[in-house]
Structure 1
Amino acid sequence: MPVLKQLSTVVIDCADPTALAAFYQKATGWEITHNDQDFASLGNGTPVQLAFVRVDGYRSPGWPDGTRHVHLDFTVADVDGAAEELLGLGASRPEFQPGDGQWIVLTDPEGHPFCLTSATTGE
């Protein structure tokens, strides 16, 4: 019997939890469920939330920097359209794009990479 029953929160270290939560709130449409200078979270009514915690002296992971780190993947109906919209919200598109066009890597305003993939990829 598994010990871990349900993933509840993906927590992302950052310099400014409020600003990063606002970016992801605009990007996902999820509601901010908590917000203060050291911690912010958002969710959409499902058991899993995104959270952001302030880390003094935080430095972004960089992309690609040769070290392993966690990143988020989002499924979207129109990858190019979603990328353009997210760039307008403050995301960046790094030059290095692996995957031969199967997905797009973006970085959030603090440099965390995340990927956009088509809803039809893998079907």
Structure 2
Amino acid sequence: MVARVEVTAKAEQMIAQLKAQHGPLMFHQSGGCCDGSAPMCYPANELRIGGEDVRLGRIAGCDFYIGAAQFEYWRHTQLIIDVVPGRGAGFSLEAPEGVRFLTRSRVFSDEEVAELEAAESTQ
């Protein structure tokens, strides 16, 4: 089955490094207020997940969430988490490493949308 969120090999390496430093991690796709639209990386359970957050899946063994309103805009796209040089938001764990996580995306095919909707209707 197609995944709603994927991770590049380079980002997966950074996640492994951050796990070694900080222990279990989680991600939340920012809604764009203070942090732009960056995926934010936190120690697991440090960010309170609300009733309006949607769990998209797991990347590199970490839960990945997005706010419900933003999910409605992006529900037909697969999020691909990458890492690039540069300073991101100060709240995300990768910032001191001189890199930032970045969300890339691609539109799901009609077949993938049908597969996702069928799977979600049984949950």
Q: TM-score range by the shorter chain?
A: under 0.3
Normalising by structure 2, we get a TM-score of: 0.25
Work out which structure has the larger RCO, using CA pairs closer than 8 Å and 6 or more positions apart in sequence: 2
Which structure shows the bigger proportion of residues in helix conformation?
2
Normalising by structure 1, we get a TM-score of: 0.25
Which structure shows the bigger proportion of residues in strand conformation?
2
